[in-house]
Amino acid sequence: MDFSIASILMLDGVTNGAIYASLALAIVLVFAVTRVIFIPQGEFVAYGALTLALLQLGRVPGTVWLLLALALLAAVLDALAALRRGLPPGRVAVSAAKALAVPVVVTALTWWAAPQNLPLLLQCLLTLAIVTPLGPLVYRLAYEKLADATVLVLLIVSVGVHFALTGLGLVFFGAEGFRNPSFWDARFSAGALTLSGQTVIIFMVSIAMIIGLALFFERTLRGKALRATAVNRLGARLMGISTSGAGRLSFGLTAFMGALSGLLIGPTTTMFYDSGFLIGLKGFVAAIFGGLASYPAAAVGALFVGLLESFGSFYASAFKEVIVFTLIIPVLLWRSIQHGTQDDEE
Amino acid sequence: MTRTRFLIAFVIGLALLPQLPVPEFWITQANYIGLYTLVAIGLVLLTGVAGLTSFGQAAFVGLGAYCAAYLTLSFGVSPWLTVWIGLAFTGVVSLVLAWITLRMSGHYLPLATIAWALSLFYLLGNIDALGKYDGLLGVPALRFFGIDLNTGRSFFYLLWALVVLAAIAVTHLLDSRTGRALRAVKGGTTMAEAMGVNTFSTKVTAFVLAALLASVSGWLFAHFQRTVNPSPFGLNMGIEYLFMAVLGGVGHVWGALTGAGIVVAMKDQLQVLLPKLLGGSGNYEIIVFGVLLVLVLQYARDGLWAFVESRLPRAQRKVDWADAPALPERARPPHGEVVLDVVAARKEFGGLVAVNDVSFQVCAGEILGLIGPNGAGKSTTFNLVTGVLPATRGSVSLRGERIDSMRSRDIAKRGVARTFQHVKMIPGMTVLENVALGGHLRGSRGVASAMLRLDRAEERQLLKEAEKQLRRIGMAASMHELAGNLALGPQRLMEIARALCADPTLLLLDEPAAGLRLKEKQGLADVLRQLRGEGLSILIVEHDMDLVMGLVDRVVVMEFGTKLIEGTPDVVQASPAVRAAYLGTEH
C-alpha cells in the first residue's frame, strides 16, 4: 500500500464514519431518553434512500401508505383511550383530526408530487417529511405502552420492530437495489486524492447535524427537557415534562437523522430494502464505544468503525463485515475491564 | 399428579405419531418443531429464568451443525464423536463470550450476540473449506445400533427422545439449589450475592447451557437436512428462536415447545398466504412475526403457555424431608465475644459524607439497635457491613477478620445474613423455596447432579431446614404459597426466615417490623429474643421505638451520617441530643 491508496481509503473511511457518527448519536439519544436500544435505526436509513429512489422513478413510495396506516391506528387507539377516560367526543375528534393532519397532507402531497418529477432537493425534503413522522408513530405504537419495562424487554420489542419494518421494506421496495443520483457532480482533485461533491455534502451535512443537535440540547427548552428526561424520568415528569412526549420527540429526531443519512449515502452505494440494518448496526458498534452514554466517544467510535471498514475491505474484502462486528468483542472487553461489574436492578 | 400424567400422555402421543398414516410433511414439520424446541428450551433457561437474552442462539446451532458436517465429511469422524466435539467447541466459544459480556449490565450481552451472530454468518459464508455460502453437501445420515436414521420417521424418535430428555433435565435443574440461584440472579445481583450466590458464574452457567442445547440441535439439524449452509444460522433465525420462546412463554419449559410449534405451523401457512396477498416473493412472514412479538410483549408478557399454566392445578410439593438428617450448624462464638467491630467506617459519595467515621461493636448474644432519622446513614452502614458498598476509609471486622474489602458472598460465607429494607425475593417461587435460597451456602450440589436428580438427599436437608425456620417464625402454614402472593408483613418475616436458613453468626435486619401488625411484631420480638438466647448477634435498624426499646441491649443513634450517642435504651431515651435529633430544638 502506498500513500495515495492509504489516503483514498482514509477518505472513504472518514466519509462513512461521518454517517455512522450521526446514526450513533441518534442511538445514544434514544437510549438516554427512553432506555430503548433502537435496533431499527437502520431501517429509517433504508426507507430514506429508497423512498427517494421511488420518487425519482415517479412512483408513490409505499412508505407513505405506512405513514398513513400507522397514523390512523395511533389516532384510533388514542381516541379509544380518551373516550374510555371520559373525555367529550368533540374534543377527542378534534385531537384525532390534529394528529392525522400532517400524515394526510404529506400523503396527498406525495401523491400529487410523485409523477411531477420535481427537483432533487424538493424530493429529498418530501422524503424527510414522509420518514420523520414514522419515528414518533413507531414509538407510540410499539414502545409507549411498555415505557416502564426493563431494558431487555424494550430491546426485544426493538427486534420485533426491526423484523416488521424490514419485511415491509421488502413489500414497498422489492428485492432489487437502487442507487440514487449524486447531489453534486463536482470533483476536486488534490494530488492523488479526488474529493467528490457528494463526499463534501456528506461531511457538511453530518457536521451540521451534529452541531444542530448540540445547539438543540444546549439552547432550546425542548432539548433541555430531553436531557432532563435522560437524567431522571420521574424527576422530569414531576417538573411537568411529558416523558412520552420526550420519547416521541427523540424518536422523531432519530427517524429524521436516519432518513437524512439514507439520503446522504444513497448515491454512494447501492441500497437494498435490508441494507439499512447493517449500516445501523455499525452505528451501534460506534455507540457502544461510548457505552451508549457518551456522544463524543460515540462519534470517535464511528470514525474508527468507518476507517476499520475501509481498510478491512482493502485487505480482506470478503471479511470486512466479520472484522467490523468482531470488533465489538474487544470493545466490550475494554469497557468491562474499565468499568468492572455493574449491577442492574430491576 | 396431573402434570406427570400430562407428560406421559404427551410422550405416548409422540411415540405413536410416526406409526400413524399421517403425511410425511407432518413428520418433517414435527422434526423441525423438535429441533427448534431444543434451542428454545435453552432460551427459557437464559431469558425466562436467569433474565439474560441472546439473539445469537442460531449461531450456536450453526457451530454444532458445521462441526458435525465438516468433521464427518472431511475426516470421516463418527457422528457420535462429532456431537461431543461440537459441544466442546460451542462450550469454549460461549464461555469466552460470556466471560467478556456478562460482567457488564444486562443489555450488552444481547448486543454482543447480535454482533457475534452476524460475524459468524459472514465468516461461514466466506471460508473455502466450509463451502462458502453454498455450504457442505452430502452429510451422512445417523446410524443408531445398525438402524439408519435416514427417513423423517426414523429420525423423529432420536430427536424427540433428546427433546424430552432435555426438557426433563431442565425442569429438574429449575427445581434445585442451582435453579433457585438462577432465578435469584434475574432480579438483580444484590440479594443473590447476599445469599452467597456467585452471580457471575451463575449467569455464565445459564449462557453456556443454552449454547450447548443449541449445539445439540445443530448436530441433529446437520444429519436431518444432510446439508448445511450459513442461512439457517443467521441473525434472523436467532431472532426467530427468541420469538418462539417469548411467544410460547419464556418462563416455562413447555412454553418453548408451544412457541416452536406455533411458529413452525404459522410460518408454513404465511409463506403460502402472504406472497399471494402482497404479490412478489420473499420472507414476508417476518412482518407478522415482528408485529406479533411486539403485541405479545404488550399484552401477554408471559407468553401463551401462561394461559394454560394458570388453568392447570398447581402441584403442591410433597413433604418428603421429614426424616432427612439436619444440616450441620456453625459453632457459635462464646457469649460476649466481639462479633462485629466497626472502626471509624466512612463512606463518601462524591462530596457527600453518608457515613462519617462511625464506630460500634456487636457482641455474641446481643441485640444492637441502630436508629436515627431518615437519611441518617443507617442503610449505608448496613451496606458497608455486608459488602454491598466498599468503605472509603475505616475497617469492618467479623470475629477479628477484616471483611471491609470482601465481596458480599464472601461475607455471607463467614456467617453474616441480612434482610432488605425493600423486600427482595423471587415472587414466582414458593415461600419454602425462597427460604431455602438462604441455605445456598450450606449445600454444594451443582448443575449435573440436579439434572440427574442426584441432589435429592441434600435437597431434602435444605428444604427441611427451610421449613424449620419458617416454623420458628410462625409461617409454616403458608410455605407452599407463592411468595409474590404474600402481604408485605409476611414477606418481611419470610426474609428473616431466609436469613436464618443461612445459619448466621450475625443477623442484620433492615426495618423488619415495617408493615407488621401488632401481634406479628410481638411474635417477631419473641423470636429475636430466643435467637439472642441461642448466642446469635443481631444488628437491627428499626423505626418502631416501642419495639426497639423493649428489645435491644444497646442502641446506637445516628444523625447526618455521624454517631450521636451509644448506650442502653434508658440512657438514649433520656438524652436531650436524641430528642433534638428527632423532634428538633426549641429556639
A74-110 pLDDT, tens digit per residue, is 999 999 999 998 888 888 889 889 889 999 999 999 9
Which run of H or of E encompasses A74?
helix A62-84
Chain centroid offset of residue A159 CA? 15
Q: How far apart are CA A283 and CA A278, in angstroms?
A: 9
Non-local CB neighbours of B580 within 8 Å, separated by 6+ positions: none
Residues of B in contact with A32 (CB under 8 A): none
| Other Cβ atoms closer than 10 A to B521 | 18
Q: Which of residues 165-194 of B touch A (CB under 8 A)?
A: 186-190
**Of B541, B237, B525, the residue nearest B375 (C-alpha):** B541
For A318, which of B101, B126, B287 is closest by C-beta distance?
A: B126
Residues of B in contact with A160 (CB under 8 A): 243, 289-294, 297
Amino acid identity, position B350: G
- Smallest CA–CA distance, residue B238 to chain A, in Å, is 11
| Other Cβ atoms closer than 10 A to B446 | 15
Q: How far apart are CA A304 and CA A307, in angstroms?
A: 5
What is the Cα Rg of chain B in Å? 28
Task: Report CB contact under 8 Å: A322, B126.
Answer: yes
CATH superfamily for B332-415+504-587 is: P-loop containing nucleotide triphosphate hydrolases (3.40.50.300)
Q: How far apart are CA B470 and CA B492, in angstroms?
A: 12
Contact A19, A203 (CB under 8 A): no
Confidence grade of residue B410 (pLDDT, cut at 50, 70, 90):
very high
Non-local CB neighbours of B282 within 8 Å, separated by 6+ positions: A170, A175, B275
ipTM: 0.91
- Smallest CA–CA distance, residue A2 to chain B, in Å, is 27
| pLDDT score of A166 more than 90 | yes
Taking CA atoms, what residue in A is nearest to B278? A171
| pLDDT score of B113 more than 90 | no
What pLDDT score was predicted for residue A344?
43
Task: Report CB contact under 8 Å: A152, B114.
Answer: no
* Cα→Cα distances B63→A328, B69, B106, B259, B445, Å: 20, 10, 24, 23, 30
Which run of H or of E encompasses B361?
strand B352-363
Contact B82, B220 (CB under 8 A): no
Buried b / exposed e across A35-58, counting CB within 10 Å, b at 16+?
bbbbbbbbbbbbbbbbbbbbbbee
| pLDDT score of A285 more than 50 | yes
Residues of B in contact with A322 (CB under 8 A): 119, 122-123, 126
pLDDT digits (tens, 9 = 90+) for B188-234: 788 999 999 999 999 999 999 999 999 999 999 999 998 999 989 98
DSSP string, B165-227: HHHHHHHHHHSSHHHHHHHHHHT-HHHHHHTT--HHHHHHHHHHHHHHHHHHHHHHHHHHHSE
Q: How far apart are CA B463 and CA B455, in angstroms?
A: 12
pLDDT digits (tens, 9 = 90+) for B422-481: 889 999 899 999 999 999 999 889 899 999 999 999 999 999 999 999 998 888 899 899
Question: Which of B134-143, B233-242, B287-296, B341-350 shows the lowest per-residue confidence on average (mean pLDDT)?
Answer: B134-143
Contact B347, B392 (CB under 8 A): yes
**Of A167, A173, A136, the residue nearest A262 (C-alpha):** A173
Please state the rounded mean pLDDT for residues A235-248: 86
Greater confidence (A339 vs B339) lies with B339
Contact B421, B378 (CB under 8 A): no
Q: How far apart are CA B212 and CA B500, in angstroms?
A: 37
Taking CA atoms, what residue in A is nearest to B301? A153
Cell representation of residue B474: 410462625
Please state the rounded mean pLDDT for residues A125-150: 92
Please state the rounded mean pLDDT for residues B109-130: 87
Please state the rounded mean pLDDT for residues B415-422: 90
Q: Report how many Cβ contacts below 8 Å link chain A to chain B.
A: 156
Task: Report CB contact under 8 Å: A159, B242.
Answer: yes
What pLDDT score was predicted for residue B330?
86
Q: How far apart are CA B260 and CA B37, in angstroms?
A: 6
| pLDDT score of A318 more than 70 | yes
Cell representation of residue A336: 468491562
Question: Which residues sit opposite B397 in a β-bridge?
Answer: B341, B402
Cell representation of residue B579: 430528642
What pLDDT score was predicted for residue B110?
86
Question: Which of A64-73, A125-134, A222-231 shows the lowest per-residue confidence on average (mean pLDDT)?
Answer: A222-231
- Smallest CA–CA distance, residue A346 to chain B, in Å, is 6
- Smallest CA–CA distance, residue A313 to chain B, in Å, is 13
Task: Report CB contact under 8 Å: B111, A165.
Answer: no
| pLDDT score of B177 more than 60 | yes
Cell representation of residue B524: 417477631
Greater confidence (A320 vs B450) lies with B450
Which run of H or of E encompasses A187?
strand A187-190
Cell representation of residue B522: 410481638
| pLDDT score of A254 more than 90 | yes
What pLDDT score was predicted for residue A343?
45
Q: Does B266 touch chain A (CB under 8 A)?
A: no
Q: How far apart are CA A122 and CA A289, in angstroms?
A: 36
Task: Report CB contact under 8 Å: A160, B111.
Answer: no
Residue boundaries of the structural domains of chain B: 30-233, 332-415+504-587, 426-501
Please state the rounded mean pLDDT for residues A39-46: 93
Burial of B570 (0-12, 13-18, 19+ CB in 10 A): exposed
Judged by phi (left if over 0) then psi (alpha if -120 to 50, else beta), residue B375 lies in left
| pLDDT score of B379 more than 80 | yes
Please state the rounded mean pLDDT for residues A287-299: 83
Cell representation of residue A242: 411529558
Confidence grade of residue A139 (pLDDT, cut at 50, 70, 90):
very high
pLDDT digits (tens, 9 = 90+) for B65-90: 999 999 999 998 888 999 999 999 99
What pLDDT score was predicted for residue B587?
59
Cell representation of residue B81: 464423536
What pLDDT score was predicted for residue A38?
92
Q: How far apart are CA A299 and CA A295, in angstroms?
A: 6
Q: How far apart are CA A283 and CA A302, in angstroms?
A: 7
Confidence grade of residue A340 (pLDDT, cut at 50, 70, 90):
low
Burial of B80 (0-12, 13-18, 19+ CB in 10 A): exposed
Question: What proportion of chain A, given as a percentage, has pLDDT over 70?
Answer: 97
Task: Report CB contact under 8 Å: B122, A322.
Answer: yes
- Smallest CA–CA distance, residue A77 to chain B, in Å, is 14
Non-local CB neighbours of A308 within 8 Å, separated by 6+ positions: A13, A323, A324, A327
Q: How far apart are CA B508 and CA B511, in angstroms?
A: 10
| pLDDT score of A157 more than 70 | yes
Cell representation of residue B477: 402454614
* Cα→Cα distances B174→B200, B215, B253, B380, Å: 18, 21, 10, 34
What pLDDT score was predicted for residue B459?
92
Cell representation of residue A234: 420521574
| pLDDT score of A342 more than 70 | no
Residues of A in contact with B198 (CB under 8 A): none
Q: Does B118 touch chain A (CB under 8 A)?
A: yes
Greater confidence (A319 vs A17) lies with A17
- Smallest CA–CA distance, residue B362 to chain A, in Å, is 30
Confidence grade of residue A345 (pLDDT, cut at 50, 70, 90):
very low
Q: How far apart are CA B475 and CA B489, in angstroms?
A: 11
What pLDDT score was predicted for residue A5?
83
Best B294, B302, B426 member to test A by mutation, with max A CBs in 10 Å, is B294
Q: If you search the block for the grid coordinates 431499527, which residue do you land on?
A: A40
* Cα→Cα distances B56→A43, B116, B296, Å: 20, 7, 21
